[in-house]
Structure 1
Amino acid sequence: MRITDLRTHVLFDGWRNLVFVELETDSGLTGIGEATLANRTEAVVAYLHGSASRHVTGADPFDVELLWRRLYLGDFIRGGMDACAGLSAIDIACHDLMGKALGVPAFRLLGGACRESVPCYANGWYTVARDPDAVAERAREVVARGYGALKLDPFGSGAGELTRRERALSVAIVRAVREAIGPDVEIYVEAHGRFVPAEAIRICRLLEPLEIGWMEEPCSWDDPLAWREVRERVGIPIAGGEHFCTRHGFRAVIENRCVDILQPDVLYCGGLSELRKLAAWADAYGLRVAPHNSQGPVCTAATVHAALGIPNLKVVEVFDDFVPPFVRQAVPGCPMVEGGRMALTEAPGLGVSLDGRVIAEHPGAPGHFDLWAEAWERRFRAPGAG
């Protein structure tokens, strides 16, 4: 079996573009991947099509390690999230092809399953006013859907350090959520790398009485040693890793014990091939793995296939329940959350397909998602809006 063509499809989901990839083969089978990278759609699509003729067409998808190495090293200029999003999508699509050719689900190619289903936490649910009561009410709705864990960024457009008023409001939002959902539901707090270490430490200490499950990327990912500084001075576990690419990007984080929970994203770390290696490496350092998964349904499917076989798995992130219904309709077969967990069928490959009609009805759109803008958490907008 040889790859004969690479195609990309872009769908606007209401606040960013999702990039899906298809690898066609001479056997008639098609492999599906995803390369979504917010604010970088044009660059990722260009990289994918540029790489196709150099490395992808003519390759055997079963030689996925060779293809991975050619994509990573073969252009000499390497690294960066744009290129790794493309590399990851191709790796995922190759696993889909291998599974389809052999008639087995992709997780069977990754060492099989350690569990029947994976625990999930909700994200992307707090698209309401940045008000404690409004966010708490939405949190109740999330828990009513069966989730036993959820995550939020309560910090608005904060950067560097917060004013007293903003700090108090942020803590009040988390406190309101805790009071609304009770002591048994896990709360994870996302900081998106906003703070200098001193401010991150101050905020963590204020949140400690609320028993949150982790503080995610409290300082910039450009300086992961700052995470270690925070980790050593607070009583809240520190999580991070979504922005790092390949084993080389994770080396400093793992070997310097910068986090308690590692969060590789299958779309940026190097695909299913690399995610499995990173999980094993993390296990050697006593780290739990909570894969980052805030992209589209193909990413979710790939993440769950990997997560089933990760012994040191903690939990998997889910956005898919909090996006417009057409997003899931565009990817028939995508896994669903039931009772706060996701399971997979024995369908070959990833078990998903693409609905070209739905994608065509919601074509890619220009725009910019700014996490440092006021009311960014409301996020959904009309195509082409600023």
Structure 2
Amino acid sequence: MRITGISTHVVGTPWRNLTYVQVHTDEGLTGVGETRMLGHTDALIGYLREAEANHILGSDPFAVEDLVRRMKYGDYGRAGEIVMSGIAVVETACWDIKGKALGVPVWQLLGGKVTDKVKAYANGWYTTERTPEAYHKAAQEVVARGYQALKIDPFGTGHFELDHEATLYSVSLIEAVRDAIGPGTELMLEMHGRFSPSTAVRLAHELAPFKPAWLEEPVPPENLKALEKVAGKVDIPLATGERIHDRVEFRELFESQAVDIIQPDVGHIGGVWETRKLAATAEAHYVLVAPHNVGGPVLTAASL
């Protein structure tokens, strides 16, 4: 079986564009991969057009490791967000083809089933009026749908600093959400990598009474020392990793022991197999894995 070409399809959503890639083969099987780019969709499509000619056409979709290595290293440039996302959509589609060709779920090809259920949290549910009353109502509706965990960024437009008034208002939002969902539902706090270490630490202490399950990206993701500083001063588990685009770049993060949960984005880190390798390394460092933005063909393809 050989790859005869790829086709791309961009779907618009309120937050971002979703890029779907179909990988076609000479045996009639087609696989689907998906990722979302924040402001770089055209760049991704351009890269895929060149990669199709340089690396993808004629490849064996079963030889995923070989295809990923050629796409990552064959251009003799350092792979970043665009390249690793392009690799991810093609690689995921190849797993889809494998599952369809063999007539088995993709999870069987990755080592078999370990658990019957995978925990999920609700995100994006708070795109409503930014008031305690609106957040309280929205959180209740999410719990009523069956979710047992919610994630929220309550910090408005804060960047590096958050003044006293804005801090009090953010705390009031979280207080309303915790009241709505009760003590038994997990609540994750998202900071989007916007704050200085001192601000992140102060906010963590202000919000600790509401028992957050984790604090996500408290400082800019490119500053590991800043993350270590926060880790040494707060008791809330820290999560990060969605903006790391190569699994080898997690090495220093593991060695620092500054993070409790890593959040690789399957659509940006090179796909399913790269994520599986990273998860094995995380296990060896006693770090939990909560994949970021998992959805689309990885979970819903006909082969699953």
Fold in common (TM above 0.5): yes
Give 1:248 shift.
1.8
Correspondence for 1:257: 257
SS in 1 for 2:239: strand
Give the gaps of 5 or more residues in structure 2.
none
Match status 1:278 vs 2:286: no
- For residues 109 and 215 of structure 1, the distance between their equivalents in structure 2, rounded to whole angstroms, comes to 33
The structure, 1 or 2, with the larger RCO (C-alpha pairs under 8 Å, 6+ apart) is 1
Q: Deviations over 1:320-346 (max 9, x none)?
A: xxxxxxxxxxxxx56xxxxxxxxxxxx
CA shift at 1:267, angstroms? 0.5
Q: Provide, for residues 133-174 of structure 1, a one-character-per-residue CA deviation record: whole Å limited to 9, x for no partner.
A: 111110000000000000000001110010111111111111
Contact persistence 1:217–1:239 (CA under 8 A): yes
Letter in 2 for 1:179: D
Distance in structure 2 (CA, Å) of the matches to 1:14 and 1:180:
26
Tell me whether 1:287 sits opposite 2:287 in the alignment. Answer: yes
Structure 1 unmatched ranges of 5 or more: 305-332, 335-346, 352-386
Q: Deviations over 1:303-326 (max 9, x none)?
A: x5xxxxxxxxxxxxxxxxxxxxxx
Give the corresponding residue for 1:189: 189
Q: Within 2, Cα distance between the matches of 1:17 and 1:288?
A: 29
- 1:87 equivalent in structure 2: 87
One-letter identity of the residue aligned with 1:80: G
Tell me which residue corresponds to 1:320: none
- Asked if 1:129 is matched to 2:129, the reply is yes
> Aligned partner of 1:214: which letter?
W
SS in 2 for 1:165: helix
- Match for residue 200 of structure 1? 200
Asked if 1:42 is matched to 2:42, the reply is: yes
Instruction: Tell me the SS of whatever aligns to 1:35.
Output: strand
Aligned residues of 1:225 and 1:253 also touching (Cα < 8 A): no
* Equivalent residue letter for 1:10: V
Give 4+ residue runs of structure 1 displaced > 2 Å after superposition. none
Shift in Å at residue 225 of structure 1?
2.6
**Could you tell me the TM-score, scaled by structure 1's length?**
0.77
Structure 1 residue 9 corresponds to structure 2 residue 9: yes
Q: Could you list the per-position Cα deviations for residues 59-112 of structure 1 after superposition, in whole angstroms to 9, with x for gaps in the alignment?
A: 001110010100110001122111111011111011011111111111111111
Quick one: which amino acid aligns to residue 132 of structure 1?
A: P
TM-fit CA distance, 1:7: 0.7
Mapping 1:1-386, distance limit 5 Å: 1-293=1-293, 297-298=295-296, 301-302=297-298, 304=299, 333=300, 347-348=302-303, 351=304
Distance 1:255 1:91 in 2: 28
Q: Shift of residue 132 of structure 1?
A: 1.3
Percent of aligned pairs with the same amino acid = 46
Q: Does the CA-based 8 Å contact 1:35-1:44 persist in structure 2? A: no
**CA RMSD between the two structures:** 1.2
TM-score normalised by the chain length of structure 2: 0.97
- Work out the CA distance in 2 between the residues paired with 1:35 and 1:186: 27
- For each residue in 1:229-253, what CA deviation from the matched residue of structure 2 results, as whole angstroms up to 9, or x when unmatched? 1111111000000011122221221
Q: Aligned to 1:68, what secondary structure does the other structure show?
A: helix
Which amino acid is 1:135 matched to?
Y
Aligned residues: 304
Cα distance in 2 for residues equivalent to 1:152 and 1:135: 10
> Contact 1:265–1:291 at 8 Å: present in 2 too?
yes
**CA offsets 1:254-303 (integer angstroms, 9 cap, x no match):** 12112100110101111001100111101111111111117xx42xx42x
What is the letter of the counterpart of residue 196 of structure 2? Answer: V
Match of 1:357 in 2: none
